[in-house]
Amino acid sequence: MSFSSVVAIPSLQEPETQDRLKSEELKERLKAVALTPNDFDNKFPKPATDLKYVSRMISGSEQETDGARTTSPTADLVKNAVQLSIRLLVGNWSRTIDQLRSQWANLRDTFNADQSNLIDVATETFDLSNRGRKGVRETQQHFLAIELWYRRWWTQQATQLNQCREAVERYASEAGGLLESIGSFNTLPSHDSSIETAVITEALKRFSKFENDAKSTCAVTPEVYVIPAREDFGGYLGIFGTAARWLLKTESLSLVLITGLLGFGLVGAACSTFIRNVRTRGAGEPLVPNLASVVIRGGSAAVLIFLAVYGGLAVFAGANTNPNPYVVLFACLAAAVFSDDAWTWGAQQFRSRLSAGGGPDIPQEGPRHGGDTAAGRQDAGQ
């Protein structure tokens, strides 16, 4: 208790600075990262997916098919099957593009709304976590951690949105190229239907691959926004902070001082008892003959010094005066060490004043603290 209180006192005595970071300053820093609606539209444009060239390609393929129609029913059937495949692929391509563009729009709207909502949540968290708390260094670290976290989150969201747009445009480009390749079969004078089937099958595979990649990239995943928490007070003290953490968490100098007074009171009483009895202790006897006496004298010294110092300052110096904690701890240690002599002197003064005032004679007795002194043990033996 004594060691922990000595370690905790310097951290709790730090002065209040006027330049303490505020939540309003954090909000301004985060707003500088976010984009205004106009800047947001310019930075994240819609995917460029023009469908006009597809319709021109289809109409051109139909005209070429009609112009190159042969008298062979089998050839016409093949031409019609190819044309139907092209129409099906174009329809599938158009629906997929619309779906991907919708996913991109949802991702964009979510990002645009979250960048403002998270600023309010982050600043409120910072204010509630640091209001009335000790630790200027911890407040500064919390300020920096939230700012870096928001910048990192914003960059991740912007990267995903750009990747989604690139995936949509890549899918549109690849799909258009494959459809043009399939449509080019109609311009050939003769062709093998097995080759057309293989090309169409490969096109469908590539459709599926690019579609899955784009959808996974543009998916809006619900996120749990874990805003960085404030570090424990006194965490920078290292191994010393580990020993005093249970006191630093209270962030109360008065409670730390009370704990230190009790610890130094017990240390002083134990040292006094050990030194007084070390020369007269017999073989096999304990170092401290009466442990209860040590606890009582140490605790009474702590209570006496605490009440005397704070009570005296409240009476003579005003309630706003704070004593030096180290002086108070030293006074408690001295009071615990010399408690025997102090109580003996006080008893003698009390008896002498009563005798001088005509009171009843009170027999003089030595201090009795469970055999703590050699004189006490001799009296007890007699």
- Can you tell me the distance from the alpha carbon of 185 to that of 199, in angstroms, rounded to the nearest whole number? 10
- The helix/strand/coil state of 163 is helix
Q: Note the pLDDT of residue 376.
A: 45
- The helix/strand/coil state of 52 is helix
- Please count the other Cβ atoms lying within 10 Å of the Cβ belonging to residue 373: 19
**pLDDT-wise least confident of 68-77, 83-92, 334-343:** 68-77
Is the pLDDT at 200 greater than 60, yes or no? yes
Give me the amino acid identity at 313.
L
Per-residue pLDDT reduced to its tens digit, 216-257: 888 877 667 788 988 887 777 777 777 777 788 888 888 888
Is the pLDDT at 329 greater than 80, yes or no? yes
Please tell me the total number of residues recorded for the chain in this structure: 382
Q: Which of 98-107, 191-200, 354-363 has the highest mean pLDDT?
A: 98-107
**pLDDT-wise least confident of 5-9, 124-128, 188-192:** 188-192
Q: List the end-to-end C-alpha distance of the chain, in Å, as a whole number.
A: 40
- Can you tell me the distance from the alpha carbon of 153 to that of 141, in angstroms, rounded to the nearest whole number? 18
Per-residue pLDDT reduced to its tens digit, 141-186: 999 999 999 999 999 999 989 998 888 888 888 777 777 766 665 5
On average, the pLDDT of the chain sits at 75
- Can you tell me the distance from the alpha carbon of 219 to that of 19, in angstroms, rounded to the nearest whole number? 44
Is the pLDDT at 342 greater than 80, yes or no? no
Q: What angle, 0 to 180 degrees and rounded to 10, lies between the N-to-C axes of helices 339-356 and 253-277?
A: 80
**pLDDT-wise least confident of 7-16, 109-118, 226-235:** 7-16
- Can you tell me the distance from the alpha carbon of 72 to that of 189, in angstroms, rounded to the nearest whole number? 13
- Please count the other Cβ atoms lying within 10 Å of the Cβ belonging to residue 352: 11
Q: 123 or 73: whose pLDDT is higher?
A: 123
Task: Please say whether the beta carbons of 93 and 206 come within 8 A.
Answer: no
- In 3D, which of 195, 169, 372, 167 has the Cα closest to residue 288? 372
Tokens 């779906």 belong to which residue? Answer: 99
Q: Note the pLDDT of residue 373.
A: 47
Is the pLDDT at 75 greater than 60, yes or no? no
